């Protein structure tokens, strides 16, 4: 009996090695600090909101870092997910690889250090035209107002980074790929190259609908990648918007999942899996020809500190089980576990070790 058969027969997890999970996206440095109402008013911010930075917010970032208690966390949707996956896996280190673009500056150095601390094998494309992307989290009580400035993250170039031999070799080493839909606004050609590689080699390519605006304004690049998508994630709002844009003529989430599963697919060896989360309600997933509901972990509303990053964490937990070839039910359970831990903390941060069995 081969070692692999022995592992399978004992129901053990598949052996893990470096660079088995590949992620690519917008690396942002989350800068969070507790502020007061005057600070919010000064920059015209709502207490609980998510916006893209405008010129008037330039000074906000400078002022925020001068505060005495500033926390820096490596952020950005895909980077959060691969970091959570690595945290769930623990050892070996560097199972997760991450590509994205940063600036040659202090914030870029912090991102590198944070990725290293999370044991993620980050290979950033570094350029000096734009500063490292940031997301200011202005915290007042239980609320946080988020101001995102993509900057350098928007400058990722396929030919300057992904196509380089040393980098492409890391892509080839992976067996599971994950890219959030947000990256469609930056480098759709990079996504396609990775997606086609996965499809040709019968590996698993995962994507996320990420936000309603992706389906609305980046539908063309999204639908170019869709035939290569083996696993598609999204939340209930994104699913509804996607269905509307594609003319599915239904707002039933199970029906949307089924119709999405049946969209054209290149690699017919793998049936597409669609997973939609719904906050505190059951997650919905296509299992073969059926659509199944998976309840979330019960949580006391008072324990919820910050739901931002919950979706990223769900995907991270899911990927950690997927890369170990666990069944779909277990991938979803791992996703629910990770999200449950992260929403009890500020930002996409986690305790030293997971307690998932």
Contacts of 268 by beta carbon, 8 Å cutoff, 6+ apart: none
Q: Clarify whether 55 is annotated catalytic.
A: no
Closest CA to 180 of 256, 281, 261, 99: 99
Which CA distances in Å does 92 have to 80, 153, 203, 333, 334?
18, 28, 21, 22, 18
Closest CA to 79 of 128, 124, 17: 124
> What's the farthest any 2 CA atoms get from each other in the chain?
69
Distance CA 95, CA 121 (A): 8
Q: Could you say which of 30, 303, 312, 355 is catalytic? A: 312
Distance CA 215, CA 251 (A): 15
Q: Which residues are catalytic?
A: 312
């Amino acid at each position: 009996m081969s070692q692999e058969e022995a592992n399978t027969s004992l129901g053990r997890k598949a052996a893990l090695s470096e660079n088995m999970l590949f992620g690519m996206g917008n690396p942002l440095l989350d800068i969070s600090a507790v502020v007061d109402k005057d600070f919010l008013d000064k920059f015209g911010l709502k207490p609980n909101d998510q916006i893209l930075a405008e010129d008037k917010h330039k000074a906000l970032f400078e002022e925020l870092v001068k505060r005495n208690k500033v926390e820096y966390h490596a952020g950005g949707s895909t980077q959060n997910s691969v970091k959570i996956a690595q945290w769930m896996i623990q050892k070996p280190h560097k199972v997760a690889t991450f590509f994205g673009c940063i600036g040659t500056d202090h914030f870029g150095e912090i991102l590198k250090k944070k990725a290293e601390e999370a044991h993620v094998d980050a290979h950033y494309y570094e350029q000096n035209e734009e500063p490292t992307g940031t997301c200011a989290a202005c915290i007042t009580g239980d609320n946080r107002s988020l101001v995102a400035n993509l900057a350098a993250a928007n400058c990722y170039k396929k030919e300057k980074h992904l196509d380089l031999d040393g980098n492409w070799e890391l892509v080839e080493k992976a067996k599971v790929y994950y890219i959030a839909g947000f990256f469609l606004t930056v480098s759709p050609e990079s996504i396609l190259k990775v997606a086609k590689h996965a499809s040709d080699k019968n590996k698993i390519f995962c994507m996320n609908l990420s936000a309603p605006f992706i389906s609305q304004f980046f539908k063309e690049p999204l639908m170019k990648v869709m035939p290569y998508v083996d696993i598609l994630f999204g939340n209930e709002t994104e699913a509804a918007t996607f269905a509307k844009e594609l003319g599915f003529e239904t707002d039933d989430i199970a029906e949307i999942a089924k119709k999405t599963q049946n969209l054209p697919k290149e690699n017919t060896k793998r049936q597409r899996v669609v997973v939609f989360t719904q906050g505190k309600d059951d997650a919905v997933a296509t299992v073969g020809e059926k659509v199944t509901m998976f309840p979330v972990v019960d949580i006391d509303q008072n324990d919820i500190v910050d739901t931002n990053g919950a979706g990223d964490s769900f995907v991270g937990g899911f990927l950690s089980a997927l890369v170990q070839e666990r069944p779909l039910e277990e991938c979803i359970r791992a996703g629910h576990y990770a999200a449950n831990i992260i929403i009890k903390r500020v930002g996409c941060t986690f305790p030293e070790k997971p307690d998932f069995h």
